[in-house]
Chain A
Amino acid sequence: NAGVTQTPKFQVLKTGQSMTLQCAQDMNHNSMYWYRQDPGMGLRLIYYSASEGTTDKGEVPNGYNVSRLNKREFSLRLESAAPSQTSVYFCATDGVAMNTEAFFGQGTRLTVV
Chain B
Amino acid sequence: GQQVMQIPQYQHVQEGEDFTTYCNSSTTLSNIQWYKQRPGGHPVFLIQLVKSGEVKKQKRLTFQFGEAKKNSSLHITATQTTDVGTYFCAGRETGGFKTIFGAGTRLFVKA
| Chain A residues near B88 (CB-CB < 8 A) | 42-43
The smallest C-beta distance from B99 to any residue of chain A, in angstroms, reads 6
- Do A42 and B99 contact each other (CB < 8 Å), given the known contacts A90-B43, A101-B33, A103-B45? no
Within A77-113, which residues are at the interface with B (CB < 8 Å)? Answer: 90, 92, 94, 96, 99, 101-107
CA distance A106 to B101 in the complex (A): 18
Of B54-62, B67-75, B102-110, which binds chain A?
A: B102-110
Interface residues on A, range: 20 to 34
The smallest C-beta distance from B90 to any residue of chain A, in angstroms, reads 7
Q: Are B98 and A42 in contact (CB under 8 A)?
A: no
- Do A102 and B90 contact each other (CB < 8 Å), given the known contacts A43-B43, A90-B43? yes
Contact of B31 among A33, A43, A99 (CB under 8 A): A99
Nearest to B10 among chain A residues (CB) is A40
A13 within 8 A of B: no
CB-based A-B contact count at 8 angstroms? 54
Q: Are A104 and B98 in contact (CB under 8 A)?
A: no
A-side binding surface: helix, strand, loop or mixed? Answer: strand
A48 within 8 A of B: yes
Q: Are B97 and A104 in contact (CB under 8 A)?
A: no
CA distance A40 to B103 in the complex (A): 11
| Chain A residues near B43 (CB-CB < 8 A) | 43, 90, 92, 102, 104
| Chain B residues near A43 (CB-CB < 8 A) | 43, 88, 101, 103-104
Q: Which residues of A approach B to under 8 Å, CB–CB?
A: 31, 33, 35, 40-43, 45, 48, 50, 56, 90, 92, 94, 96, 99, 101-107
Q: Which residues of B approach A to under 8 Å, CB–CB?
A: 6, 30-31, 33, 35, 42-45, 48, 50, 86, 88, 90, 92, 97-104, 106
Given contacts A41-B104, A42-B101, A96-B92, 15 further A-B contacts (CB under 8 A): A31-B97, A31-B98, A35-B101, A42-B104, A43-B88, A43-B101, A43-B104, A50-B97, A56-B98, A99-B30, A99-B48, A102-B33, A102-B35, A102-B43, A107-B42
